[in-house]
Amino acid sequence: MKIKSIIISNYKSLGEERNVLLLEDNITALIGKNDSGKSNILEALGNISFIHHINDDFFSKKNRYTNRNIVITAELKFTEKECQQLLIDSKNPKTVFKFYSSDDIEFEGAFSSIFNHDEELKNAIYYIEDNILNYFKVYGKYTTKKFIESIDEKLDRLLEIDSKIWVKYKKSLNEILEVLILQEQDMASREYNEECYTLIRHIETIKSKIKKKYKLLPVIYYRTKEEELQSIYNLDEIKSAIKTKKGLLYKFMVVTEAPLEEFIKAIESNDENERNKCINSIKEKVKYNIQKEFNYFYEEDENVKIKVNFENNCLKIFIKTKEHTTYLDERSNGLKWFLNLFIDLAYGNLENKTIIYLLDEPGVYLHVNAQRELLVLLKNLCNKGGQVVYTTHSPYMIDTEDIINVRAIEKDENGVTHIFNNAYDNKFNSSSKRETLTPLLKAIGADIKYNLGPRLDKVNIVTEGITDYMYFTAMLDYLGVEEEQRPYILPSVGAGNVNALVSILIGWGCNYKVVLDYDKAGVIECNKLIDSLNLRLNHEVFFINCKDKPLEKEYIRNPEFVESLISEEDKNKLSVRYEVNKTMAAKEFYDKVIDKEIVLSDETINNFRRLFVNLSIIE
């Protein structure tokens, strides 16, 4: 399952307006100045769990400005593959979860349906409901008054299993099982009790079914600090890690599955045979429990060998790739970061689960190239079905080819955090919007010379806004335009700001073309570009409908926009109408095209093909 959106109400600096965070299926980046509240967003997500008890303290951290109860609402969606496997209606794959208290998690939607359609589970629950209290009235041995009273509550939770997460289901059902098993053992020597056996069988079925369904829910992994595994640890450091049960060294030792005392004996044992036996045992376990699993997790072309040795009363960790062996701390920052993450996940038994990775300022101390490498590694995490949400101040941690995944976070004058799911939102509190990326630059506090664009190695296609960017990018993908042929799409913030952006491109010596809407604002900007910057129509500046000359009657009465290139047939395939929400309609179109969930009509294809030919993107 994927998280589609989170509504965070009244947690710390989050209030009840602009508190919805939309998540991409892969990576979502949160940008914002210090103290904007982006860490509070990660913290809110990191403290919730779909299957575990939530700390009571979490629900006490109310927003002082609103002073209302904290409520977290999460919308999840089954993937297309999961819908096929679980026989879920692919048109209704969504489930809404609401978190009100530490163990009160309500849900409705597709996740409810997998409980409702499980006849074996329902029959087992109905049998327990109808028979268990009557059974214990007859067979009361090993029961107490408190035990009998607790059964009603357990039955209530069972009957709500299709609408509420039962965090303590295993513990609660095991309490009943323990009594039944003791009774069964007593009866075994005398006579077989069919009713006792049937109750046990049905409770085991219920436990198994709930466990299997809860496994479908993603696990949230919140990494609050960057721990690093070192190359060398002395005996005192090893003993301290074992004693305190803290730190990445301790996690590394646990993940090897070697007895912890072997790490001490491998250094200080006076018996050489015992010492060598421990060393060889640890090496073998590192090979199979860390090295083998890490290479599956890392998914790079090179095969990484993780070696350990014990020399000079120290544990030493080496990395070998091809014929090159070095200390761990001499390897690339990207590889080290991924290994540290793997150890952390493996320690929590999370490496084979669907994970939502929450990373606060990942790679903040890495140099520019290492940050770019880290961005690639984050994409690798998503290839395993996970999602990544991270905060950053660094322009190098923003994917310039996918700026749709950027969310801008800002705090207002009352100290309330607002989430802008489109970093180009016109309501973003920016003092100036003349330059295209001003809101984005303001959010990360970066100077334009360190910015995301423009590109010197590609043609820069300047559009009026982010929706044009989404449609253009989607159709370049749909038409199979190769990466080296693709232009760089550079969105402005409305037609009136295009000339300022073009001035920058000219000053930097960039290759560029401009695409404008065929409306009054577009024509005014076109004339400004021609008069002020000597651009030529259908050479450097183009209308979206490829017109050679604007006619006032046409663009006033029948203006045309990028949405005009989409056929009515294809618009009807979307759940969001352009007239209702322009940006979200474009986002849905983009997602469906990129995920290959839509087949476009010839009319749409030909309209974009004509435009791209006019722009000399394709022939």
What's residue 122's pLDDT? 96
What's the pLDDT at 189?
Answer: 61
Residue ranges, the chain, pLDDT below 50: 430-451
| Burial (Cβ within 10 Å: 0-12, 13-18, ≥19) of residue 511 | middle
Give CATH for domain 453-614: 3.40.50
| Per-residue pLDDT, 432 | 31
What local confidence, expressed as pLDDT, does residue 467 receive? 87
Helix orientation angle between 247-256 and 272-286, rounded to the nearest 10 degrees: 90
User: In the numeric block, which tokens belong to residue 538?
Assistant: 């259908």
Cβ proximity of 16 and 52 under 8 Å: no
- How would you classify the pairing of strands 27-31 and 387-392? parallel
CA 362 – CA 341 distance, rounded (Å): 11
CB atoms within 10 A of CB 119: 8
Amino acid in position 457: D
d(Cα 97, Cα 256) in Å, to the nearest integer? 37
Residue 351 is predicted with a pLDDT of 66
| Contact in structure between 79 and 123 (CB atoms under 8 Å) | no
The residue type found at 465 is G
**Of 359, 349, 434, which Cα lies nearest the Cα of 394?**
359
Amino acid at site 281: S
Other beta carbons less than 10 A from residue 18's beta carbon: 18
Cα 447 to Cα 450: distance, rounded to the nearest angstrom: 6
Asked if 526 contacts 492 with a C-beta cutoff of 8 angstroms, the reply is no
Amino acid at 504: I
Question: What's the distance, CA 477 to chain centroid?
Answer: 23
Position 400 scores a pLDDT of 67
**Domain residue ranges of the chain, discontinuous segments joined by +:** 2-114+377-390+397-420, 128-203, 223-353, 453-614
Same fold, 2-114+377-390+397-420 and 453-614: yes
CA separation for the pair 178, 196 (Å, rounded): 12
- Residues pairing with 307 in the sheet: 318
Q: How does pLDDT run across 487-507, given as a tens digit for each residue?
A: 998 888 788 888 888 988 888
Are the beta carbons of 144 and 182 closer than 8 angstroms? no
Q: Are 64 and 13 in contact (CB under 8 A)?
A: no
- Count of positions (residues) in the chain: 619
- CB of 266 closer than 8 Å to CB of 277: no
Could you confirm whether domain 2-114+377-390+397-420 is CATH 3.10.50? no
H helices of 257-326, where?
A: 260-268, 272-286, 292-298
Query: What is the C-alpha end-to-end distance of the chain, expressed in Å?
Result: 41
Both tokens of 106, joined, read 């309500």
* pLDDT at residue 169, rounded to an integer: 94
